[in-house]
Structure formats: C-alpha cells, structure tokens
C-alpha cells in the first residue's frame, strides 16, 4: 500500500505505450520520480520528451526485460540514482496467437521471455531492495504490480502461448503476495488482468527479435491476429482508465485489478468446472457466433 505518492520512485516497464505510459503520466502528475523502461527506443524517447518538461526527475533506459543482464544493470542504476523504488510496475508484454502446436520454439521463447521472465526479473531484483528499505524505515511503503491478463484466468483457444505466459504471471503474483505477507506488512502486491484494451500489444510484431522478423506465419496465427485486432478496436475501456485503477489498487492494497469485471463470468464458469471435475466449458457460450466463426475459419 502506498498512501502518498509524491517524492516516491516508480519503475515502469513497457513505459513507451499503453498501460505503462498512462501510469507514467499519472505518476508524473502525482510528483513521483520516474524510471521509464522500454525496448522500443523511439517510443521511449517520445515518452521522455513528453514527461521531462514537466520537471519530473527521470531515468530512462532501453531494456529487453527478458535479458537478465540488462535487468540487473537497470536495477543497479535505479539503486544508485534513487535507492529502492516504491512502486514497481512489471508491465512489458507481447501478444501471440495461433494453435498451440503451431507455435515455433522461437515463438515460445520470445513470448515467455518478455511476458513471464520480464516479471520474474523485476520481482527477483526489486523486491529485495524494497524489503531492505522497509526494514530500515518503519514508515516506508511499497507496491509491486505485475501485468497478467484475463487470459491468465481463462483459457481462450488459439492463444496458447500467451495464455501460458499470463497464467504463470497470475500464479507468480499470488505467491508473491502470500510470501510478502509472511515477512512484512509494508509492501503489497497486485496483479493486473485486463481484457481487450487498446495498448499496442495487438501489434507486438514491431518488437519481435530481428531473427524472427519475416518468418512465415500459419493460418491460425493470421486468424487469431485478425480477431484480436477486431476485439481491441471495439473496446470501450481505455488504457488511461485502467491506469487509474492501478493507482487506486496501489493506494488501497487491492490485489486483483480488472478492466472488464463482467468478463469474470467466464472465470467463474472455469472455476466451477475445475471444482466439479468437469470438462473445460465452452469459452464461446456467451458469444456462439464468434466461436463458430473461428471454427469455420480454422477448418476451411
């Protein structure tokens, strides 16, 4: 829980767009010191150009969050410049679609590297720094927020690699919450589970590793990408709306953060099936036309 944000330090990965950029804007308005992290240099430069003139004390780093050495260098730089961060937003992520057996080894390594290992590195590097700060000051407070997805709570078809990465982030963050409760009352944890929100993740191919660019994609991947684009474009909840909820959660120590609470009906159905020992429910029960469209396209 963070009661007051002014003068405190926020580390935000994926800060060049989407939730990361919107949280950086809120943090700047609240007088926080910013550490902006992104793998896309032009997006990072644009964020710096927007926020630096506001008089914000700022550190910007181009970092591939899947790279342990780069993340270690980031943590060292934060410690040297600002000390332990109070708010860590492990947010960088990439999207992926396609039938689970059609994803290549490179697909798995890239998506899990960014979506899961990026969070792992953020947790393992910044949590000890935050705990040390808490031990030295009884009034010190901090919050770690990890970005998962509604895909971390349900298992939509044709999104296997992405689902796996986000389910892992939910499990990691729930465990982090419990582990922190064992050792301190000064640091909280939250997990963000957004549904379809326009953040730029639908166009993750712009940040694919060079070796993967131009690689052929399967029909299922093309179909999944098209459906994702359509769903994101039709969304009515903005990244700014979600960022506001993130700060509310950090202030109130709320664990689960949702962009679309109505989507939890699918989560409830999945949990009921698990408890009842039933087969996984039809993910398109509420939208049968979408399910039929996907089946028809994949069987064509």
Mapping DSSP to helix (H, G, I), strand (E, B) and coil, where does residue 115 land?
helix
Cα(275)–Cα(263) distance, integer angstroms? 19
pLDDT at 202: 56
Ramachandran category for residue 26: left, alpha or beta (phi over 0 → left; psi -120 to 50 → alpha): alpha
* 273 belongs to a structural domain: no
pLDDT at 207: 63
pLDDT by residue (tens digit) across 7-57?
999 999 999 999 999 999 999 999 999 999 999 999 999 999 999 999 999
pLDDT at 208: 64
Judge whether residue 200 has pLDDT over 90: no
pLDDT band at 131 (very low <50, low <70, confident <90, very high): very high
* 3 belongs to a structural domain: no
CB 177 within 8 A of CB 223: no
Ramachandran category for residue 167: left, alpha or beta (phi over 0 → left; psi -120 to 50 → alpha): alpha
* 287 belongs to a structural domain: no
Judge whether residue 145 has pLDDT over 70: yes
Q: Could you tell me the pTM of the whole model?
A: 0.94
CA angle 67, 76, 51 (to 5 degrees): 85
Q: Please say whether the dihedral angle defined by the alpha carbons of residues 49, 7, 93 and 199, taken in this order, is positive or negative.
A: negative
The stretch 115-144 carries a mean pLDDT of: 98
pLDDT at 255: 98
Tally of structural domains, the chain: 1
- Give the CATH number for residue 245: 3.40.50.720
* 286 belongs to a structural domain: no
Alpha helix (H) ranges present in the chain? 18-29, 41-51, 68-82, 105-112, 118-136, 160-183, 219-233, 239-252, 264-276, 288-299
* 32 belongs to a structural domain: yes
DSSP state of 196: S
CB 88 within 8 A of CB 145: yes
Q: Record the tokens describing residue 253, joined without a space.
A: 């120590």
CB 150 within 8 A of CB 193: yes
* 203 belongs to a structural domain: yes
Average pLDDT score over the chain: 94
* 295 belongs to a structural domain: no
Q: Whole domain around residue 48: which residue ranges?
A: 9-262
Judge whether residue 205 has pLDDT over 80: no
**What positions carry a catalytic annotation?**
162
* 270 belongs to a structural domain: no
Cα(100)–Cα(108) distance, integer angstroms? 10
pLDDT at 216: 80
């Amino acid at each position: 829980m963070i009661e007051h944000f002014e003068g405190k330090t926020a580390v935000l990965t994926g800060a060049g767009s989407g939730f990361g950029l919107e949280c950086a804007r809120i943090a700047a308005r609240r007088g926080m010191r910013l550490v902006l992290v992104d793998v896309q240099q032009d997006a990072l430069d644009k964020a710096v150009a927007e926020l630096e003139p506001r008089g914000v004390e700022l550190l910007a780093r181009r970092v591939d969050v899947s790279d342990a050495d780069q993340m270690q260098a980031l943590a060292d730089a934060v410690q040297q410049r600002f000390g332990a961060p109070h708010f860590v937003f492990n947010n960088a992520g990439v999207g992926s679609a396609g039938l689970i057996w059609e994803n290549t080894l490179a697909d798995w390594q890239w998506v899990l590297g960014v979506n899961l290992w990026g969070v792992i590195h953020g947790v393992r590097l910044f949590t000890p720094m935050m705990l040390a700060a808490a031990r030295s000051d009884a009034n010190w407070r901090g919050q770690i927020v990890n970005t998962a997805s509604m895909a971390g709570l349900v298992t939509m078809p044709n999104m296997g690699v992405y689902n796996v990465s986000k389910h892992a982030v939910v499990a990691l963050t729930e465990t982090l919450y419990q582990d922190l409760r064992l050792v301190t009352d000064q640091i909280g944890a939250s997990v963000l589970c957004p549904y379809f929100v326009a953040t730029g993740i639908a166009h993750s191919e712009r940040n694919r590793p060079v070796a993967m660019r131009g690689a052929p994609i399967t029909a299922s991947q093309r179909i999944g990408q098209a459906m994702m684009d359509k769903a994101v474009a039709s969304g009515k909840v903005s990244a700014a709306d979600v960022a506001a909820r993130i700060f509310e959660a950090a202030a109130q120590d709320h664990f689960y953060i949702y962009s679309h609470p109505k989507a939890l009906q699918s989560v409830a159905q999945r949990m009921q099936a698990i408890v009842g020992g039933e087969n996984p429910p039809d993910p398109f029960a509420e939208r049968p036309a979408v399910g039929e469209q996907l089946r028809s396209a994949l069987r064509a």
